Protein backbone atom coordinates (compact mmCIF):
# COMPACT_ATOMS: atom_id res chain seq x y z
CA UNK A 1 0.00 0.00 0.00
CA UNK A 2 1.81 3.10 0.04
CA UNK A 3 2.88 0.55 2.38
CA UNK A 4 0.09 -1.17 3.94
CA UNK A 5 0.74 0.63 7.13
CA UNK A 6 3.09 2.95 8.87
CA UNK A 7 3.35 0.67 11.85
CA UNK A 8 1.70 -2.51 13.00
CA UNK A 9 1.81 -5.73 11.04
CA UNK A 10 0.49 -6.34 7.55
CA UNK A 11 -0.29 -9.89 6.49
CA UNK A 12 0.23 -11.58 3.16
CA UNK A 13 -3.01 -11.88 1.23
CA UNK A 14 -4.24 -15.31 0.30
CA UNK A 15 -2.97 -15.70 -3.28
CA UNK A 16 -5.44 -14.27 -5.82
CA UNK A 17 -8.06 -13.51 -3.17
CA UNK A 18 -8.13 -9.90 -4.42
CA UNK A 19 -8.60 -10.47 -8.16
CA UNK A 20 -9.44 -6.81 -8.78
CA UNK A 21 -5.97 -5.61 -7.76
CA UNK A 22 -3.64 -4.39 -10.48
CA UNK A 23 0.08 -3.74 -10.19
CA UNK A 24 1.14 -0.46 -11.74
CA UNK A 25 4.73 0.17 -12.81
CA UNK A 26 5.39 3.82 -13.69
CA UNK A 27 8.48 5.33 -15.31
CA UNK A 28 8.83 9.04 -14.61
CA UNK A 29 11.94 11.17 -15.15
CA UNK A 30 14.22 8.15 -15.11
CA UNK A 31 12.78 6.71 -11.89
CA UNK A 32 10.49 3.73 -11.34
CA UNK A 33 7.48 3.97 -9.05
CA UNK A 34 4.93 1.35 -8.08
CA UNK A 35 1.28 2.07 -7.39
CA UNK A 36 -1.90 0.15 -6.75
CA UNK A 37 -5.01 0.31 -8.84
CA UNK A 38 -8.15 -1.72 -9.24
CA UNK A 39 -10.18 -3.05 -12.13
CA UNK A 40 -13.71 -1.61 -12.41
CA UNK A 41 -14.70 -2.97 -15.85
CA UNK A 42 -12.85 -5.22 -18.30
CA UNK A 43 -10.83 -2.39 -19.83
CA UNK A 44 -10.71 0.34 -17.16
CA UNK A 45 -8.79 0.59 -13.92
CA UNK A 46 -9.22 3.28 -11.30
CA UNK A 47 -6.35 4.91 -9.42
CA UNK A 48 -5.17 8.29 -8.12
CA UNK A 49 -4.39 11.20 -10.44
CA UNK A 50 -1.00 11.57 -8.73
CA UNK A 51 -0.14 8.06 -10.03
CA UNK A 52 0.93 9.40 -13.38
CA UNK A 53 4.09 9.15 -15.44
CA UNK A 54 5.63 8.93 -18.90
CA UNK A 55 5.30 5.16 -19.22
CA UNK A 56 2.78 3.00 -17.38
CA UNK A 57 2.51 -0.78 -17.48
CA UNK A 58 -0.38 -2.73 -15.95
CA UNK A 59 -0.26 -6.25 -14.58
CA UNK A 60 -3.41 -8.08 -13.49
CA UNK A 61 -3.79 -11.44 -11.80
CA UNK A 62 -0.52 -11.04 -9.90
CA UNK A 63 0.29 -12.18 -6.38
CA UNK A 64 4.09 -12.35 -6.43
CA UNK A 65 5.27 -9.48 -8.64
CA UNK A 66 8.83 -10.82 -8.80
CA UNK A 67 7.79 -14.05 -10.42
CA UNK A 68 6.27 -14.76 -13.81
CA UNK A 69 3.00 -16.34 -12.79
CA UNK A 70 0.99 -18.19 -15.39
CA UNK A 71 -2.21 -16.36 -14.47
CA UNK A 72 -0.79 -12.84 -14.88
CA UNK A 73 -2.14 -10.60 -17.64
CA UNK A 74 0.12 -7.75 -18.72
CA UNK A 75 -1.80 -5.20 -20.77
CA UNK A 76 -0.68 -1.89 -22.19
CA UNK A 77 -2.55 1.34 -21.54
CA UNK A 78 -4.07 3.40 -24.34
CA UNK A 79 -5.53 6.39 -22.44
CA UNK A 80 -4.97 8.02 -19.07
CA UNK A 81 -7.77 10.31 -17.91
CA UNK A 82 -7.03 12.26 -14.72
CA UNK A 83 -9.93 14.23 -13.30
CA UNK A 84 -10.01 17.60 -15.11
CA UNK A 85 -10.13 19.48 -11.79
CA UNK A 86 -7.26 17.61 -10.13
CA UNK A 87 -5.20 19.98 -7.99
CA UNK A 88 -1.71 18.72 -7.17
CA UNK A 89 -1.21 21.13 -4.26
CA UNK A 90 -4.46 20.46 -2.39
CA UNK A 91 -4.92 16.89 -3.80
CA UNK A 92 -8.55 17.73 -4.56
CA UNK A 93 -10.04 15.41 -7.19
CA UNK A 94 -7.09 13.02 -6.96
CA UNK A 95 -8.64 10.33 -9.16
CA UNK A 96 -7.77 8.93 -12.57
CA UNK A 97 -9.12 6.34 -15.00
CA UNK A 98 -6.76 4.31 -17.15
CA UNK A 99 -8.16 2.69 -20.26
CA UNK A 100 -6.49 -0.54 -21.29
CA UNK A 101 -5.62 -1.30 -24.89
CA UNK A 102 -7.78 -4.42 -24.77
CA UNK A 103 -10.29 -6.03 -22.48
CA UNK A 104 -9.00 -8.32 -19.77
CA UNK A 105 -10.04 -11.95 -19.61
CA UNK A 106 -12.13 -12.19 -16.46
CA UNK A 107 -11.69 -15.36 -14.43
CA UNK A 108 -11.08 -16.42 -10.82
CA UNK A 109 -7.70 -14.61 -10.83
CA UNK A 110 -8.73 -11.40 -12.61
CA UNK A 111 -12.06 -9.79 -11.86
CA UNK A 112 -13.73 -6.42 -11.37
CA UNK A 113 -14.64 -4.71 -8.12
CA UNK A 114 -18.02 -3.17 -7.28
CA UNK A 115 -18.32 0.62 -7.03
CA UNK A 116 -20.57 2.39 -4.51
CA UNK A 117 -23.75 4.29 -5.25
CA UNK A 118 -23.43 8.01 -5.92
CA UNK A 119 -22.81 10.04 -2.74
CA UNK A 120 -23.27 6.96 -0.49
CA UNK A 121 -21.02 7.58 2.53
CA UNK A 122 -19.39 4.94 4.70
CA UNK A 123 -20.25 5.20 8.39
CA UNK A 124 -17.42 5.91 10.84
CA UNK A 125 -16.48 2.75 12.69
CA UNK A 126 -16.81 0.58 9.58
CA UNK A 127 -13.94 -1.89 9.29
CA UNK A 128 -12.41 -1.93 5.81
CA UNK A 129 -9.24 -3.30 4.26
CA UNK A 130 -6.43 -1.97 2.11
CA UNK A 131 -4.13 -4.05 -0.05
CA UNK A 132 -0.95 -3.36 -1.96
CA UNK A 133 2.66 -4.13 -2.71
CA UNK A 134 3.94 -1.07 -0.85
CA UNK A 135 6.48 -0.95 1.94
CA UNK A 136 5.19 -2.44 5.19
CA UNK A 137 7.17 -0.21 7.53
CA UNK A 138 8.31 3.40 7.74
CA UNK A 139 11.76 2.04 8.61
CA UNK A 140 12.03 -0.01 5.40
CA UNK A 141 12.72 1.14 1.85
CA UNK A 142 12.07 -2.27 0.31
CA UNK A 143 8.78 -3.53 -1.03
CA UNK A 144 7.37 -7.01 -0.50
CA UNK A 145 7.11 -9.37 -3.45
CA UNK A 146 3.66 -10.60 -2.51
CA UNK A 147 0.38 -8.73 -2.06
CA UNK A 148 -0.12 -7.49 1.50
CA UNK A 149 -3.27 -6.44 3.32
CA UNK A 150 -4.35 -4.86 6.57
CA UNK A 151 -7.66 -3.85 8.15
CA UNK A 152 -8.31 -0.18 8.94
CA UNK A 153 -11.30 1.47 10.56
CA UNK A 154 -13.11 4.42 8.95
CA UNK A 155 -12.63 7.41 11.24
CA UNK A 156 -14.94 10.42 11.78
CA UNK A 157 -13.86 13.52 9.86
CA UNK A 158 -13.43 15.27 13.20
CA UNK A 159 -10.78 12.73 14.25
CA UNK A 160 -8.11 14.36 12.12
CA UNK A 161 -5.87 17.05 13.69
CA UNK A 162 -7.10 20.54 12.82
CA UNK A 163 -3.83 22.47 12.77
CA UNK A 164 -4.33 25.02 9.94
CA UNK A 165 -0.71 24.54 8.89
CA UNK A 166 -0.68 20.77 9.39
CA UNK A 167 -0.88 17.93 6.89
CA UNK A 168 -4.69 17.86 6.90
CA UNK A 169 -5.14 21.56 6.09
CA UNK A 170 -6.62 20.80 2.65
CA UNK A 171 -8.92 18.03 3.86
CA UNK A 172 -12.29 18.16 2.09
CA UNK A 173 -14.96 16.02 3.77
CA UNK A 174 -17.18 15.99 0.68
CA UNK A 175 -14.62 14.08 -1.39
CA UNK A 176 -12.21 12.63 1.19
CA UNK A 177 -12.44 10.23 4.12
CA UNK A 178 -10.14 9.24 6.99
CA UNK A 179 -9.06 5.69 7.72
CA UNK A 180 -6.85 4.17 10.39
CA UNK A 181 -6.97 4.42 14.17
CA UNK A 182 -3.93 6.36 15.51
CA UNK A 183 -3.86 4.03 18.55
CA UNK A 184 -3.39 0.95 16.36
CA UNK A 185 -0.95 2.44 13.87
CA UNK A 186 -2.26 0.46 10.90
CA UNK A 187 -1.87 2.47 7.75
CA UNK A 188 -0.84 2.60 4.10
CA UNK A 189 2.66 3.66 3.05
CA UNK A 190 5.07 4.11 0.11
CA UNK A 191 3.90 2.14 -2.92
CA UNK A 192 0.24 1.72 -1.92
CA UNK A 193 -1.13 4.91 -3.50
CA UNK A 194 -3.99 4.45 -5.91
CA UNK A 195 -5.12 1.18 -4.35
CA UNK A 196 -8.57 0.59 -2.94
CA UNK A 197 -10.15 0.95 0.47
CA UNK A 198 -12.43 -2.09 0.38
CA UNK A 199 -15.49 -2.03 2.64
CA UNK A 200 -17.41 -5.26 2.38
CA UNK A 201 -17.35 -6.02 -1.33
CA UNK A 202 -17.25 -2.41 -2.50
CA UNK A 203 -14.39 -0.04 -3.34
CA UNK A 204 -15.31 2.94 -1.15
CA UNK A 205 -11.99 4.78 -1.23
CA UNK A 206 -8.75 5.29 -3.14
CA UNK A 207 -5.51 5.51 -1.17
CA UNK A 208 -4.44 9.11 -1.67
CA UNK A 209 -1.98 10.42 0.93
CA UNK A 210 -1.03 10.12 4.55
CA UNK A 211 1.32 11.50 7.18
CA UNK A 212 3.63 8.97 8.89
CA UNK A 213 0.92 8.04 11.41
CA UNK A 214 -2.83 7.41 10.91
CA UNK A 215 -5.34 8.47 9.95
CA UNK A 216 -4.61 8.33 6.25
CA UNK A 217 -6.70 10.14 3.66
CA UNK A 218 -8.71 8.29 1.03
CA UNK A 219 -10.53 9.66 -2.00
CA UNK A 220 -14.27 9.09 -1.50
CA UNK A 221 -15.21 7.09 -4.63
CA UNK A 222 -18.97 7.67 -4.29
CA UNK A 223 -18.45 11.41 -4.93
CA UNK A 224 -16.99 10.68 -8.37
CA UNK A 225 -19.38 8.03 -9.68
CA UNK A 226 -21.05 10.39 -12.23
CA UNK A 227 -17.63 11.38 -13.65
CA UNK A 228 -16.42 7.75 -13.72
CA UNK A 229 -19.53 6.50 -15.52
CA UNK A 230 -19.62 9.37 -18.01
CA UNK A 231 -15.92 9.03 -18.84
CA UNK A 232 -16.13 5.28 -19.43
CA UNK A 233 -19.22 5.69 -21.64
CA UNK A 234 -17.46 8.35 -23.70
CA UNK A 235 -14.40 6.19 -24.34
CA UNK A 236 -15.99 2.80 -24.84
CA UNK A 237 -15.80 1.61 -28.47
- Answer yes or no: 181 catalytic: no
Quick check: 3 and 142 in contact, CB under 8 A?
A: no
Q: Which one of the listed residues 3, 13, 175, 193 is annotated catalytic? A: 193
Report how far residue 197's alpha carbon sits from residue 219's, in angstroms, rounded to the nearest whole number.
9
Report how far residue 140's alpha carbon sits from residue 130's, in angstroms, rounded to the nearest whole number.
19
Q: Which one of the listed residues 2, 94, 151, 192 is annotated catalytic? A: 94
Number of Cβ atoms within 10 Å of the Cβ of 39: 25
Q: Which one of the listed residues 7, 25, 50, 157 is annotated catalytic? A: 50
- Answer yes or no: 193 catalytic: yes
- Answer yes or no: 63 catalytic: no
Of the candidates 113, 94, 123, the one whose C-alpha atom is nearest the C-alpha of residue 193 is 94
| Phi/psi at 81 (5° precision) | -130, 85
C-alpha neighbours within 13 Å on the C-beta side of residue 182: 9
DSSP SS3 for 139: coil
Residues with catalytic roles = 50, 94, 193
Amino acid sequence: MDSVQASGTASTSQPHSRPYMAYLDIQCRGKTYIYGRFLVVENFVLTGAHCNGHEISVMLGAHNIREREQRQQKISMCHRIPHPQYNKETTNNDIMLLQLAKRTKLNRWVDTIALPRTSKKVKPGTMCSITGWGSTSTESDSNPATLQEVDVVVMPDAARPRNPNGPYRYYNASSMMCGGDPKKGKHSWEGDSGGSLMCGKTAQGIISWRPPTPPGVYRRVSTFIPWIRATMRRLQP
